[in-house]
Amino acid sequence: MEDAFQMTAGSYNVSIPVSQRKTSGLDGTTPNDQTSFTEGAVLSFHNICYRIKVKSGFLLSRKTIEKEILMNINGIMRPGLNAILGPTGGGKSSLLDILAARKHPQGLSGDVLINGAPRPANFKCNSGYVVQDDVVMGTLTVRENLQFSAALRLPSTMTNREKNERINTIIQELGLAKVADSKVGTQFIRGVSGGERKRTSIGMELITDPSILFLDEPTTGLDSSTANAVLSLLKRMSKQGRTIIFSIHQPRYSIFKLFDSLTLLASGRLMFHGPAQEALGYFASAGHHCEPYNNPADFFLDVINGDSSAVVLNREDEDGEAKKTEEPLKRDKPLIEKLAEFYVNSNFFTETKVELNRLSGVQTKKKSTGFKESTYATSFCHQLRWISKRSFKNLLGNPQASIAQIIITVVLGLVIGAIFYGLKNDPTGIQNRAGVLFFLTTNQCFSSVSSVELFVVEKKLFMHEYISGYYRVSSYFFGKLLSDLLPMRMLPSIIFTCIIYFLLGLKPTVEAFFTMMFTLMMVAYSASSMALAIAAGQSVVSIATLLMTITFVFMMIFSGLLVNLRTIVPWLSWLQYLSIPRYGYAALQHNEFLGQNFCPGLNVTANSTCSFAICTGEEFLMNQGIDLSPWGLWRNHVALASMIVIFLTIAYLKLLFLNKYS
């Protein structure tokens, strides 16, 4: 109730001051980069058809069929509140995405015009789009999220003062002043309310002051009072000349009254398109009357679905009054076809076609006026700095992912140090050294599985921000590596080495100490890079984690401890060259065993042996098939570095070519 009160209290309107509009492009780009929309843009869509290919059947009988999602949809969206209403699976979300240029063009036909002209190539950046799931960074405050949007979407010609003034204006006008410095919230952190979160999402799109704003199910997850407050806010925004287009499922009557235009869809067919307040009269003329006190939106959906006992006034009694007869409508395709045909023959459709033809004529006249595709509003370095800054804040704001990992590393280091404490230079020392080095290598690999979340968890956020023109793929990729991957894989390696090295009493040389630390880092970076290559583009963390775990188990077999690599049959031995633990384990063994004497009291040389055991580290390395030369150590690091480059390249290409359409 408090959230709803804040939304309705006061008579504020969301509109960027004219002074700020003159100093920058409304869409976050410089005026020379593109043609801006004028305030009060009219969006028209002509003969929209959309088909997708789906697979049906099982196993060998599976075949691909073409499913029609939208059929010959025509309409006009003018400044105001334009609602797209329909049952689940009716095509309303598909139509919204098509109008917003966020649907894959394959299988799509028809034209979408802005003021009678084709949409510019950068239309997705110029318009605002609020997704259903409110993809905002929950570990940041409301103000920090708005600052991120302003920093990347507003032109560099604007000063920081002007950007902050715009942010403050939006905060005040959206009623977010009381929670401006509160975190939005995650599943682990308590944050703002659902309505405030939704308004934050809207505010991030209002940063560029778009004349067209799309919203996908803006009332999802909100209680009825908060949903009404959000739509009231959108209504006030529309009165400032914005064209607001949104899909909605089942609004209550107080929300329905706010609609200026209503588009009803069912099974991909257009049931009605026109002024929302005339829809009841239209359905009455079709023989479907809404009972008193019934919600019109519910009534429309009932009629379309054929689920209601629609009251049909089609007879008169002896007194000349209309007599109500309950005629349950059958839920079948002919009903939808009849309603679609009735609309095609109505005055609403005729008037719409006349206006569409007029706009098509404008398109012909404006055909020579092309729209220049704009570049990003900011440079690569600017985007890299802000993405790194936000990612680092997100890392610190997630103690379960950062602080907890460090604590676990410290505890695990102390436990391992206690188990292998004071390694001796005797035959038992060989076994213990080999065991602890193997454990460190495999631990670095399996602890890197957590990096699969780096791109999977933020996939929706990345796709939305990239499509909206926040940043380049390269900026996002390298920003995440610099702020998240590098520190979170480097710090555990440093902690492990500092704790374990002295507790275990490993080779007491500075060179060996830093070589071990560097080796553990390279193993962690290689494993994390492979995790990113596997996880990039995935939507489910558990699947990516399972693939990583299985891969590391097979790699662990070929690491060199569980089986002597020289004894593997030739047709399988090549797999050892794909094993990350093998290179890390070999490097650690070379670093630790070279120059060690495990036969105390005996004067042994590099090639001498005892009758009962291995006496030198060199002999142990030769038995493992490890080259004793300096190159025998550093070629493992070169191999790990090559794997890092290859895996990161794969991850980047998967992000670059990721299907970013819905």
Annotate 58-87 with DSSP letters as a single string. Answer: SGGG-EEEEEEEEEEEEEEE-SEEEEEE--
Given this model, what pLDDT does residue 594 score? 85
Closest CA to 82 of 252, 247, 280: 247
212-216 and 63-77: which strand pairing? unpaired
Q: Is the same domain home to 117 and 192?
A: no
Closest CA to 236 of 285, 322, 294, 174: 174
One-letter identity of residue 53: K
- Under DSSP, is residue 324 helix (H, G, I), strand (E, B) or coil? strand
Q: For 17-31, 217-231, 304-318, 550-564, which range has the lowest pLDDT when averaged over its residues?
A: 17-31
In a domain, residue 618? The reply is yes
> Last residue of some domain: 209, 240, 267?
209
Q: Is the same domain home to 496 and 420?
A: yes
Supply the pTM of this predicted model: 0.81
Given this model, what pLDDT does residue 603 score? 54
Q: How far apart are CA 27 and CA 408, in angstroms?
A: 46
What are the φ/ψ torsions at residue 339 (nearest 5 degrees)?
-65, -40
Given this model, what pLDDT does residue 60 score? 59
Between helix 160-173 and helix 194-206 the angle, nearest 10°, is: 140
Q: Is the same domain home to 509 and 400?
A: yes
In a domain, residue 16? The reply is no
Given this model, what pLDDT does residue 187 score? 78
Name the H helices within 306-402: 333-344, 347-365, 380-396
Closest CA to 156 of 21, 18, 22, 30: 30
Residue 465: C-alpha distances to residues 129, 400, 434 (Å): 10, 25, 48
pLDDT band at 61 (very low <50, low <70, confident <90, very high): low
Is a pLDDT exceeding 60 seen at residue 295?
yes
pLDDT for 87-117, tens place per residue?
Answer: 888 889 999 999 998 888 888 999 999 988 8
Q: Is the same domain home to 513 and 567?
A: yes
Q: Is the same domain home to 236 and 301?
A: yes
Locus of tokens 């001051």: 17
Cα-Cα-Cα-Cα torsion 544, 546, 549, 552, nearest 10 degrees, comes to -60
Given this model, what pLDDT does residue 98 score? 93
Closest CA to 594 of 519, 520, 509, 521: 509
Within 8 A by CB and 6+ apart from 429, the residues are 423, 598
Q: Is the same domain home to 109 and 156?
A: no
- The total of structural domains in the chain comes to 3
Q: Is the same domain home to 191 and 246?
A: no
Q: How far apart are CA 594 and CA 622, in angstroms?
A: 10
CB-based contact 581:445 (threshold 8 Å) = yes
Q: For 20-24, 310-314, 479-483, which range has the lowest pLDDT when averaged over its residues?
A: 20-24
Q: Is the same domain home to 67 and 159?
A: no
High-pLDDT (> 90) share of the chain, %: 35
pLDDT for 116-156, tens place per residue?
Answer: 888 887 888 888 999 888 788 988 999 999 999 999 999 88
- Under DSSP, is residue 44 helix (H, G, I), strand (E, B) or coil? strand
pLDDT band at 226 (very low <50, low <70, confident <90, very high): confident
Closest CA to 205 of 30, 331, 26: 26
CB-based contact 465:420 (threshold 8 Å) = no
What CATH code is carried by the domain that includes residue 73? 3.40.50.300
In a domain, residue 368? The reply is no
The pair of structure tokens assigned to 536 is 């990039």
pLDDT for 320-372, tens place per residue?
Answer: 444 444 344 444 456 788 888 999 999 999 999 999 888 877 554 444 333 34
43-56 and 63-77: which strand pairing? antiparallel
In a domain, residue 33? The reply is no
Q: Is the same domain home to 413 and 278?
A: no
Task: Please report which helix (H) or strand (E) contains residue 134, including its range.
Answer: none
The pair of structure tokens assigned to 350 is 């005729």
Q: Residue 12 has what DSSP assignment?
A: -
> Last residue of some domain: 151, 179, 209?
209
In a domain, residue 315? The reply is no
In a domain, residue 372? The reply is no
Q: Is the same domain home to 175 and 98?
A: no
Q: How far apart are CA 289 and CA 313, in angstroms?
A: 7
Given this model, what pLDDT does residue 334 score? 67
**Is the four-CA dihedral 552, 557, 561, 562 of positive or negative sign?**
positive
Partners of 371 in the beta sheet? none
Range 310-332 burial, b when 16+ CB lie within 10 A, else e: bbbeeeeeeeeeeeeeeeebeee
CB-based contact 28:155 (threshold 8 Å) = yes
Closest CA to 195 of 218, 169, 214: 218
Is a pLDDT exceeding 80 seen at residue 609?
no
Given this model, what pLDDT does residue 624 score? 81
CB-based contact 104:659 (threshold 8 Å) = yes
Q: Is the same domain home to 542 and 626?
A: yes
Q: Is the same domain home to 87 and 186?
A: no
Range of the domain at 403: 396-600+610-657
In a domain, residue 26? The reply is no
Is a pLDDT exceeding 70 seen at residue 604?
no
> Last residue of some domain: 209, 234, 255?
209
The pair of structure tokens assigned to 638 is 């070169």
The pair of structure tokens assigned to 507 is 């080779």
In a domain, residue 402? The reply is yes
